[in-house]
Amino acid sequence: SPASIGVTGLAVMGRNLARNFARNGYTVAVHNRTPARTRSLIEEFGHEGSFVPAEKPEEFVAALERPRRLVVMVKAGEPTDAVIDEFVPLLDAGDIVIDGGNAHFEDTRRREAALRERGIHFVGTGVSGGEEGALHGPSVMPGGSAEAYAAVGPMLEKISAHVDGEPCCTHIGPDGAGHFVKMVHNGIEYADMQLIAEAYDLLRRAAGRGPAQIADIFRRWNTGMLNSYLIEITAEVLAHTDRETGTPFVDVVADAAEQKGTGRWTVQTALDVGAPVPGIAEAVFARSLSGHTDLRAAARRLPGPQKPALTGQDADRLVDRVEQALYASKIVSYAQGWNMIQTAADQFGWDIDLGAVARIWRGGCIIRAGFLDEIRSAYAAEPGLPTLLADEEFARRLGEAQDAWRAVVATAAERSIPTPGFATSLAYYDGLRADRLPAALVQAQRDYFGAHTYRRVDREGTFHTEWSGDRSETRR
């Protein structure tokens, strides 16, 4: 019988996605540039379901029922274009190409437009959850036409993770919207990981707790408002002892964090669309700073305070405050991510359901967390919410946390524990809250040296002061 769907690109992700489709009862055509991968998939997992292996692109395409649904799961970038160029001549109008790789959303927009000219649907699809997610149920973020979604959405929903019976997959929006949202997901992931790392550093160096104790603290936090996959795995990592040396594992890992680039894309794109995401930016920069061994070696002798860790009740109080600070900073980071999605949606003409984004991130993906349900509720209550921070419930939580949050940032500064994530989140919170920002002075400076003009608080219009002359004001 013809295959309902095909997967080309059978490295870890493609192979697991193909198995996931097969395990869900679909007949899956499978293809890979190097046929050995196709053969090994059939040998190892052929018994799991109904596969149609194909060596040649023509065979692969011929195996698919119409309209053809073809998932491309190859290395993002040029390989994706190479595969599209190879397969598109073999396809017919109405067929659907689903790119499940980590494409940049601008590439997806370009590809979607090019294929649309030929009557072929292109569904740029963010897939989160790594190889385990691909096999057992990822979070899936498809972008493309409504018509294309009607043809592939139900299958993608079926293989996605499910939470409370609901699939972690929804039609995000047209062209690049799916890959855009996936990119922001990864940006938020960077911010969340950085915040957790800062919490750990504070517990260790300011509250004097050891890794095993901190693991217990994280386990406790994981039963409360911070409940999430990232908190859960952090506890696991901190509880782990290096087999070779018997010391805490976290102490034998080199303290230089690497990145594959999606965090950087998020920040670059945020600058392009004009969305402030300092929490994500600080997380990207913190990883970058950690890798600059040259700079760090040169700065090691700079003076700083010498303070012993807190003890007794003071230490206990700090632990509780860090939980509050982590929660508040996390809300702010997520609020920035959602704001970025909203900003892009306005610019690109995407109608994105912001509550649905929270819903499909509750399972399958790295940032899955209890509190995504609350984000969903916030947008359900008020779809036009300008910022998550304005939601009554989140505002209340931030209000409750703010004293502890401020104390933690102050403690960190006093004790020379770098907390760029906590500090920038608090600054964002206060920046949005402020009646007046010193941006007034910045704009005045701009007018001074560059005649960039300014608006006044008391009158309409644009003005310039003759700074080098008699300082009279003219209307521009």
Instruction: Catalogue the active-site residues.
Output: 182, 189
Rounded to a whole number of angstroms, the minimum distance from the CB of residue 79 to ligand NBP is 3
The tokens describing 317, both together, are 């109080």
Task: Summarize as ranges the residues that interact with ligand NBP (CB under 6 A).
Answer: 9-14, 32-34, 37, 73-76, 79, 82-83, 101-102, 127, 130-131
Which residue, 279, 108, 242, 277, is CA-closest to 180?
Answer: 108
d(CA 399, CA 284): 28
Residue closer to ligand NBP by CB (options 23, 33) is: 33
Residue closer to ligand NBP by CB (options 74, 199) is: 74
Residue closer to ligand NBP by CB (options 79, 370) is: 79
Positive or negative CA dihedral for 89, 91, 96, 99? negative
Can you tell me which residue has the tokens 């592939």?
152
Rounded to a whole number of angstroms, the minimum distance from the CB of residue 238 to ligand NBP is 23
Residue closer to ligand NBP by CB (options 83, 277) is: 83
Say if CB 6 and CB 60 are below 8 A apart. Answer: yes
Phi, psi of 473 (to 5 degrees): -105, 135
Rounded to a whole number of angstroms, the minimum distance from the CB of residue 367 to ligand NBP is 13
Residue closer to ligand NBP by CB (options 55, 414) is: 55
Rounded to a whole number of angstroms, the minimum distance from the CB of residue 260 to ligand NBP is 8
Q: How many CB atoms lie within 10 A of CB 328?
A: 26
Residue closer to ligand NBP by CB (options 18, 423) is: 18
Tell me the residue nearest to ligand NBP as measured from the CB.
101
Per DSSP, the three-state class of 406 is helix
> Residue 301: exposed, middle, or buried by beta-carbon count in 10 A (0-12, 13-18, 19+)?
exposed
Q: How far is CA 366 from CA 104, 128, 164, 228, 350, in A?
A: 19, 7, 18, 9, 25
Rounded to a whole number of angstroms, the minimum distance from the CB of residue 73 to ligand NBP is 5
Rounded to a whole number of angstroms, the minimum distance from the CB of residue 57 to ligand NBP is 10
Q: Which residues have C-beta within 8 Å of that of residue 50, sequence separation ≥ 6? A: 1, 22, 26, 27, 28
Rounded to a whole number of angstroms, the minimum distance from the CB of residue 351 to ligand NBP is 25
Residue closer to ligand NBP by CB (options 6, 9) is: 9
Strand runs (DSSP E) across 100-241, as ranges?
121-128, 139-143, 162-163, 166-167
Which residue, 24, 42, 32, is CA-closest to 6?
Answer: 32
Parallel, antiparallel, or unpaired for β 96-99 and 121-128? Answer: parallel
Parallel, antiparallel, or unpaired for β 166-167 and 473-475? Answer: unpaired
